[in-house]
Amino acid sequence: MKNSMFHSKRFWIGLSFFGGLVLASFLFTWYGKDLYSQTQVLIKGADGNVSQSAPFNPLVMPPFGSDRSGYNLFFKLIIGAKFTILFVFGICFIQLLVGTLLGSLLAYTPDSLQKFIEKVCKVYFFVPTVVLVNLFMMLLMIQSEHTGFQESIVIKQFLILCIVTLPNLILYISQEINLFMKKEYITSAIVLGARKFHLFRKHIWLSVKEILVILFLQQAVQLFTLLIYMGFFKVLIGGRKMVKDPFGGPPTAFSLTNEWSGLIGLNKNELLTAPWIILAPLVAFAISIFVLNLMVQGIKERLNTRFVPIPQKKQDSVVEEKKTTMSVDKFRFANMKPLYKGKDSSYE
């Protein structure tokens, strides 16, 4: 356990970052309503005249400024953190659970069936994931505009993202298991009559479970990136609501959950006039992806220390000693010659 992945400082730093952010989001939602629900549209000078109007830049309203409605962007990011992070991590957990099960079953199917499934999935991979997500979720966006926030909409979005990004994970896990099956100690166990379930439980699972945490974090990075693309197409987690303009202008869309991708997509027209409105959630996504990659690197370093190669000189000496002590007949399963010759060696 000395070189366990859970002894990585980078892993615990990342885990503390996401855990603290989600905890702060819940606490702020429960006890900080007076702060994040306040809006400030105008700022008056000492003479009582209006000096500035929303949106305010980060210098006027630190640390990220405000949107055009006067809401503090920092508070909106904190409120939406729990929806964004828990939604992504929940999808990754279900994907690993289902992907490991189906990938393991696929690895034990005949080679002809595996090749057929791989060819079918390769055709699927040519279609961009964001296009499939938009096709399946557009009706949910229209529904949310009339019904408001509903848990059924979030569950459907959760399942769509799980299914759309699952085939690649299934194929990857099945290929990893096939690689483990080709190792010498696995083939030796098969020759000696080991059952498939026993091999998976005693040998393959011990190797596969070490990469599941890395797969979890890598899937989270891909989902965070996918959410950014979804935001630009105004496909929001939890749905959106349309508010009519009292002056007769076009209706304005608002996110029902304040999740980060929605803050990007709904304000993309502000890129030239008030770029901090888009940069604030982009910075939140960038920091989250950076922390995830930091965790992956920390775990990989810990796993690599388990397999430190033996120095060449010592390795050569060990090989020479083995060669001088005993020889193995490569064309037999075992060396049938007796190790000790004496009076009782009549069967030689």
Average pLDDT over residues 68-93: 92
Average pLDDT rounded to a whole number, residues 216-243: 89
**Residue 114 falls within a domain, yes or no?**
yes
Catalogue the E-assigned strands of the chain.
42-44, 50-53, 240-243, 252-255
> Which of the 8 DSSP states describes residue 133?
H
- Is 79 contained in some domain? yes
On whether residue 100 sits in a domain, the answer given is: yes
Pick from 287, 244, 238, 240: nearest CA to 266: 240
Whether the pLDDT of residue 328 is over 60: the answer is no
pLDDT at 245: 67
Tens of pLDDT, residue by residue over 151-189, are 889 999 999 999 998 988 999 898 888 888 777 777 777
- CA–CA gap between residue 162 and residue 137 (Å, rounded): 13
User: Could you write out the DSSP letters of every residue in 194-224?
Assistant: --HHHHIIIIIHHHHHHHHHHHHHHHHHHHH
Identify the CATH number of the domain in which residue 28 sits.
1.10.3720
Question: Of residues 149 and 285, which shows the higher confidence score?
Answer: 285
**236 vs 49, higher pLDDT:** 236
Helical (H) or strand (E) element with 175: helix 166-181
Residue 35 CA to residue 48 CA, distance in Å, equals 24
Least reliable range by pLDDT among 22-26, 79-83, 249-253, 302-306:
302-306
Residue 77, classed as helix, strand or coil, is: helix
Retrieve residue 107's tokens: 């690895």
248: pLDDT confidence band, cut at 50, 70 and 90?
A: low
Mean pLDDT for the chain overall: 80
Q: Does some domain include residue 311?
A: no
98 within a domain of the structure (yes/no): yes
Query: Does 120 fall in a domain?
Result: yes
Domains of the chain: total: 1
In this prediction, residue 37 carries a pLDDT of 77
**Can you tell me the distance from the alpha carbon of 239 to that of 241, in angstroms, rounded to the nearest whole number?**
7
CA distance 151 to 257: 11
**Residue percentage of the chain with pLDDT more than 90:** 28
Contact of 282 with 221, CB cutoff 8 Å: no
DSSP SS3 for 172: helix
pLDDT tens, 82-132?
Answer: 999 999 999 999 999 999 999 888 888 888 888 888 888 887 888 888 889
Which amino acid would we find at residue 15? L
Residue at 330 is within a domain: no
Is 3 a residue whose pLDDT tops 60? no
Per-residue pLDDT tens digits for 292-319:
999 999 888 887 754 444 444 444 444 4
Please give the backbone phi and psi of residue 274, each rounded to the nearest 5 degrees, phi first.
-140, 75
CA 229 to CA 262: how far, in whole Å? 10
Single pTM value for the model: 0.80
Highest mean predicted confidence (pLDDT) among 191-195, 252-256, 261-265, 316-320: 261-265
* Confidence class for position 50, pLDDT limits 50, 70, 90: confident
Q: Using the structure block, give the residue that is written with the tokens 């005949």.
A: 110
Residues of the chain with pLDDT > 70, as a percent, come to 84
Mean pLDDT across the stretch 183-205?
75
Q: Which domain holds residue 270?
A: 20-305
135 contacts: CB under 8 Å, gap ≥ 6: none
Half-sphere exposure of 40 (CA within 13 A, CB side): 16
The larger pLDDT score, comparing residue 87 to residue 1, is at 87
Structural domain contains residue 153: yes
- Alpha-carbon distance of 134 to 15, in angstroms, equals 31
- Backbone φ and ψ for 44, nearest 5 degrees, come out as -100, 145
Give the span between the Cα atoms of 184 and 123, in whole angstroms.
34
Write down the number of H helices and E strands in the chain. Answer: 13, 4
